[in-house]
Amino acid sequence: MKKQFKCVFFDWDLTLVRVLGDVSPEERLTALFQKEGLPYTLREVQDAIRRYQEDLQTGKIKRPSSPQTQRDISRYYQDILLRLNHNDRDWERVTYLYNAYAHLPQIPYEETIPVLQALQEKELKLGIISNHSRLIRPAVEKLLGGYISPEMVIISQELGVHKPAKTIYRAACARAQVAATDCVFVGNHLFVDAIGAVEEGEFGLGLWLDRLEGFGTMPELPAGMVRITSLWDVLTYV
């Protein structure tokens, strides 16, 4: 028998929306730099990222493979600017870039609104847990305010804690006034979202949204987690 969940939380970026549409991470970073007065070309940014990744692989630098915290993302910008030979890469500059990312155009996936509507009709509580700047809140409210109330939008910078820390998941459940075991989390990052929500947040189910449909080696998922390839699949489990 399918468990009757009471609340569904979603990640934001690359789960409900994509910045600038279906573009590569290199194109997003180039757009961010250019918007903030750093006139680097896509080719220059691609080359800087390639050299950064080579330094990671060879152990020349040690950084998280998928930065999540404000500090780690700001440091990533610093590392890329270093490889672009940019003079102004102090902490104030890269922190500004971290916040400015929230001002890039946010475009919902085609299925986002219909899926949220369907979940709303099931009388499920809906929320967002995002590792993001607080400046993303107006965009969330503008795009999805009809489905997700402001108090159900949990933003890491506002709490001072990031996924996959258990604190942020617990704060979300407290905000929803729902037990963690009655909650589902949907996100595009296997370890931060699905595994983090279940193993750290003790959520009843973690749905890993794998839009690339298993590109590369498919990991064996722990108990309480399911791989999906579209937001439509969420309706199968709730």
Residue 20 pLDDT level (bands cut at 50, 70, 90): very high
pLDDT value for 1: 53
2 pLDDT higher than 80: no
3-state SS assignment for residue 7: strand
Strand pairing category for 125-130 and 153-155: parallel
CA 83 to chain centre: 25
Helix, strand and coil percent figures for the chain, each rounded to 5: 50, 15, 35
pLDDT value for 216: 57
Strand pairing category for 17-19 and 106-108: antiparallel
Q: What is the percent of the chain with per-residue pLDDT over 70, rounded to a whole number?
A: 97
99 pLDDT higher than 70: yes
What residues does 183 pair with on adjacent strands?
7
Q: DSSP character for 230?
A: S
What's the mean pLDDT in 148-156?
A: 98
Element housing 34 (H / E): helix 25-35
Nearest to 171, CA basis, from 112, 194, 183: 183
Domain 7-19+106-237 has CATH 3.40.50.1000: yes
234 pLDDT higher than 70: yes
3-state SS assignment for residue 227: strand
Alpha-carbon gap, residue 180 to 170, rounded angstroms: 7
